[in-house]
Structure 1
């Protein structure tokens, strides 16, 4: 059955960030209603200007009651919830005080809130979470990934594992973009979806706009479920 876009909503947590804003814009472009969730709407006055079908609300993905309040407060069907939240805008000098279970808590909060609603959850992942073999991941490669960032990558993997522990009725997907994800990269409207193993030959950078296309494709016409999948850039004409 085709999705009735005008009578269902997409909720985007972290709507004020680069990925979140691109996802909101792409969803509106496709005719969806969108609820953009940020901690402080006053800090993102431009979000509401993206279109008539976007509503900006306050919410905190680290707070279970806040997550429940946001999702239950949306009238009509919720087609999907997107997690584009990041705990900081740039890597801190040290991760000594970073909670290893930060992403585990986000997963649990989202899972409880959507479990009985039948809506899909799409999370923006991290390339370091991708596998390089059956027993290792990108973040464990000291050449490919800076050692001081490992605690953050470990927290992301713990969150990924937490998704795998959720009930079968929770339909989730973690989309992990490549290291070449950049705001200055030109949008092509194209991308390549991979599995959970990092492809070192994938050298084409991916724009935030094209990442958003991949997210909305997996909301409108889902093809992969309950797993991590890589998203790579694709040259025009390739």
Structure 2
């Protein structure tokens, strides 16, 4: 049994990750900003993923951390790099060796050096959010060797939140968009990929595309 702390546990990905972790017999600390808004999330605790001190205090004694948090009321260019800085500092201070974070598919490349959000027809109103996500990667790459991290990046489409998925997924290691056809990747399968990277880490200090098998 491992001890896992999940930041952003109240979101669509976070809830699935908590459920998958518990189903495997792990101990889970579910962190949200306002526990009162999540009465169905057993044992939820309050925490700010952009506050390194809170991250350190909450994470102490855990084997791994998951970052599934997002905020729409804070500019993405601030939130995601700030969260990455707080996590790298706080987890290192707490002695937590592993971080599994979730990215966004529009940061993946359709060709070497060309991200989805760089396409001429990419909607301008979504580009800032994607660039904010991308900025966290530089922060993670600058983290010390004491923190082993991976950023799992699902396809640049909506994800399926209505089913329990297929129980399978695939990854690549070149930051390229995975071809998915008409298949929507399920949050449930993303959760499996996340907890697999906690249980038996396969990717290290890299952004990895993950999608339907």
Q: Does the Cα contact within 8 Å between 2:97 and 2:146 map onto a contact in 1? A: no
Deviation at 1:204, TM superposition (A): 2.0
1:163 to 140, 144, 149: 140
CA distance in 1, matches of 2:52, 2:31: 14
Q: Does the Cα contact within 8 Å between 1:177 and 1:230 map onto a contact in 2? A: yes
Q: 1:64 to 1:184 in 2, by over 3 A?
A: same
Deviation at 1:186, TM superposition (A): 4.7
Structure 2: any 5+ residue segments left out of the alignment?
Answer: none
Structure 1: any 5+ residue segments left out of the alignment?
Answer: 49-54
Q: Does the Cα contact within 8 Å between 1:185 and 1:206 map onto a contact in 2? A: no
Matching of residues 106-185 of structure 1 within 5 Å: 106-116=83-93, 117-143=95-121, 145-178=122-155, 179-185=157-163
Q: Does the Cα contact within 8 Å between 1:101 and 1:158 map onto a contact in 2? A: no
1:213 to 174, 188, 192: 192
Counterpart residue number, 2:177: 198
CA distance in 2, matches of 1:66, 1:216: 23
Q: 1:220 to 1:99 in 2, by over 3 A?
A: closer
Name the SS of the counterpart of 1:78 in structure 2.
coil
Deviation at 1:174, TM superposition (A): 0.5
TM-score, normalization: structure 1? Answer: 0.83
Where do 4+ consecutive residues of structure 1 move more than 4 Å? none
Q: 1:86 to 1:99 in 2, by over 3 A?
A: closer
Name the SS of the counterpart of 2:75 in structure 1.
coil
CA RMSD of aligned residues (A): 1.7
Q: Does the Cα contact within 8 Å between 1:101 and 1:159 map onto a contact in 2? A: no
Q: Which has the larger radius of gyration?
A: 1
